[in-house]
Amino acid sequence: MDWVVYVLFIFVYILATSYLRNARSFVCGNFCTSIGFQDDHLAMTDARRLKFYLAMTSCLQLLKIMKIMAILVPKMGLAPSVLKKAMADLIFFGVVFGISVFAFANVLFIQLGPNMAEFASPLNSFVTLGRALFGDFDLDLIIDNSPDCASLALCAPRALRLALLRSAIPSWPCHPPYIHP
């Protein structure tokens, strides 16, 4: 992981110098200087890529804190070790949950797409369903536009999330394991 961070540092440095070069001296012809037009698309493209690589670099640096803390304080290594052991189960859960969210987003796109702007495209439907899963959505608007099946389609992912969480709770180490005599 260290080499990935070093490579990202190099990308950030290259993009920062490119951004500064494009922001300070833009290349344009006589047309730009005669009418005073300045096209900053190169600098803005570099700025957007610079923000992405800088965010990835800082994220990886913060994740490395967990690795260093696990070395310095051994009890801090419990969370990363549990996540490593449960990685296969977490990946399977993510795939199943992603497929179910995608299916419900398609249902809402097909049912409510012509009537509501929030579901007008598959991407908007997916984003709106993601917001609804975290409780940031107006359910009354859905019920007003389609009272028969849309409210069921919107509440089903929330019920699915609760069912999956309830099924996972008994497997959490809440109680000491039972040992047969």
Token code pair at residue 17? 């110098």
d(CA 22, CA 160): 50
Q: What is the pLDDT of residue 106?
A: 86
Q: What confidence score (pLDDT) does residue 166 get?
A: 54
pLDDT of residue 140: 61
| pLDDT beneath 70, residues of the chain | 1, 26-33, 36-39, 136-181
* CA–CA gap between residue 47 and residue 40 (Å, rounded): 10
**In 96-127, which positions are buried (b, 16+ CB within 10 angstroms) versus exposed (e)?**
eeeeebeebbbbbbebbbeebebbeeeebbbe
DSSP-assigned letter for residue 79? H
Cβ neighbour number for residue 144 with a 10 Å cutoff = 12
Q: What is the pLDDT of residues 14-23, one digit of tens each?
A: 888 888 887 7
What gap in Å lies between CA 64 and CA 3, rounded to an integer?
12
- Residue 127's nearest CA partner among 102, 96, 97 is 102
CA distance 32 to 35: 6
Q: Give the pLDDT score at 164.
A: 60
Enter the pTM of the model: 0.50
Query: What confidence score (pLDDT) does residue 100 get?
Result: 87
Q: For the chain, which residues make up each domain, given as ranges?
A: 2-73, 87-170
